[in-house]
Amino acid sequence: IDQTAVQHALARQDQLTKPPGSLGRLEELAVRLAGLQRTATPEVDPVRVLLFAADHGVAAEGVSRYPQDVTKQMVRNIANGGAGVAVMAKAVGAGLDIIELGLATGSEVVEGVRSEPLGPGSGNIAREPAMTPEQLARALDIGRDAVDRAVDAGVRLIIGGELGIANTTAAAALASALLDRAASEVVGPGTGLDSAGVNRKAEVVARALALHASEPRAPLEMLRRLGGFEIAALTGAYLRAAQRGVAMLIDGFIVSSAALAAVRLQPAARDWMLFSHRSAEPGHRLMMEALEADPLLDLGFRLGEATGACAAVPLLRLACAVHRDMATFDEAGVSNAC
């Protein structure tokens, strides 16, 4: 963060025709973006959602209310414009890059979907590592490449999104390991498990943690063993966005596990992250605390896909508009405070 740009932005905010601080977090956002972008006039457009989809072997443990076919069906639904993220990205004027990294019933050609299969889904983390080292490296690369495509096209705000039946289980396992928390503290209902289902899921995550516990506690190895293709791709994307110097808006529970992994791998990546919303998934709070994040919205979302981040995009735009377009006391001939 460029401290000169931050100081200039703070000084400008105090000259705008409003009581100092009276636009609260919108002011913070404008100042932060000014510092990140090293400019007096921060902007978030163009915005692009990078949506990574993949299946998870751990679905075999009965940890989701939805059959595994739904991952592939939802990839089509996103591409066709019918899914939550498709409607919301369009409504807020964000681009959408859909990347499929491996489906249980095989990849298929879908218009508007980039297919980069690493296998028929990640391994069942309750029995084996999620990925081979080669799959992990490839997933990180796929995330990195998606960011490069976006940044090369001029994108100023990167949003990571995800889709994959059973991926709250993988994200909970990864978060538990990274945070050194018990499975039961991090696991939640995901797409809508009842309490018996949550208990079963916590037991599966606990089994996965026990299975992989003797391994080196390096974040990258935790990601390989407990994550998933799309979670690793998101980690690679977040690391790359920070390297390229582009702000990211973080969505909910699953992408936050990837953001946490990225920050453990490269603490400076945290600077480039803005946090959009508090997920209704209980373990999200623990990740936000670890990342010292105070998300903008709290609307009870637990859909994932990047929908929470899409909902926060208009606030970032407003922050930039206020910073750029409001008149100063001098310009407007308005008396400042007595």
Amino acid code (one letter) for 56? H
Q: Does 113 bind a copy of itself (CB under 8 A)?
A: no
Within 136-175, which residues bind a copy of itself (CB under 8 A)?
A: none
Number of residues written out for the chain = 338
Tell me which H or E stretch contains 247. strand 247-250
Nearer to a copy of itself, 38 or 90 (CB): 90
Provide long-range contacts, Cβ within 8 A and 24+ apart, for 196-205.
Answer: 197/63, 197/65, 200/61, 200/62, 200/63, 201/63, 201/168, 201/169, 201/172, 204/58, 204/61, 204/63, 204/126, 204/169, 205/169, 205/172, 205/173, 205/176
Q: Does 297 bind a copy of itself (CB under 8 A)?
A: yes
Which among 54, 49, 50 is positioned nearest to 230, based on CA atoms? 54
Which phi and psi angles does 307 have, rounded to 5°?
A: -65, -40
| Closest distance of CB 14 from a copy of itself, Å | 11
Which phi and psi angles does 204 have, rounded to 5°?
A: -65, -45
Which phi and psi angles does 133 have, rounded to 5°?
A: -55, -35
Nearer to a copy of itself, 16 or 247 (CB): 16
Tally of CB atoms within 10 A around 11:
10
Strand bridging mode 273-275 / 94-100: unpaired
Nearer to a copy of itself, 136 or 171 (CB): 171
Within 40-99, which residues bind a copy of itself (CB under 8 A)?
A: 65-67, 69-70, 73-74, 76-77, 80-84, 87-88, 90-92
Q: Which of 4, 7, 11, 21 binds a copy of itself (CB under 8 A)?
A: 21
Q: Does 18 bind a copy of itself (CB under 8 A)?
A: yes
| Closest distance of CB 196 from a copy of itself, Å | 14
Query: With CB under 8 A, what is the number of residues at the site for a copy of itself?
Result: 61
Nearer to a copy of itself, 171 or 222 (CB): 171
Residue 100 appears among annotated catalytic residues: no
| Closest distance of CB 330 from a copy of itself, Å | 11
Q: Which of 5, 9, 12, 23 binds a copy of itself (CB under 8 A)?
A: 23
| Closest distance of CB 316 from a copy of itself, Å | 11
Q: Does 317 bind a copy of itself (CB under 8 A)?
A: yes
Binding segment toward a copy of itself, per CB under 8 A, in 20-28, 116-124, 198-206, 217-225: 20-28
The span from the CA of 183 to the CA of 174, in Å, is 10
| Closest distance of CB 76 from a copy of itself, Å | 7
Strand bridging mode 273-275 / 113-115: unpaired
Q: Does 10 bind a copy of itself (CB under 8 A)?
A: no
Active-site choice (221, 292, 305, 331):
305
| End-to-end Cα separation, the chain, in angstroms | 34
Q: Does 198 bind a copy of itself (CB under 8 A)?
A: no
Q: Does 265 bind a copy of itself (CB under 8 A)?
A: no
Amino acid code (one letter) for 81? G
The span from the CA of 71 to the CA of 170, in Å, is 15
Q: Does 20 bind a copy of itself (CB under 8 A)?
A: yes
| Closest distance of CB 219 from a copy of itself, Å | 29
What DSSP assignment string belongs to 80-133?
TT-SHHHHHHHHTTEEEEEEE---TT-----TTEEE--SSSSB--TTTS-SS-H
- Classify residue 22 by its DSSP letter: T
Q: Does 296 bind a copy of itself (CB under 8 A)?
A: yes
| Closest distance of CB 145 from a copy of itself, Å | 28
Residues catalogued as catalytic: 305
Q: Which residues here bind a copy of itself, judged by CB under 8 A?
A: 16-26, 65-67, 69-70, 73-74, 76-77, 80-84, 87-88, 90-92, 191-192, 280, 296-303, 307, 310-311, 314-315, 317-318, 321-322, 325-327, 331-338
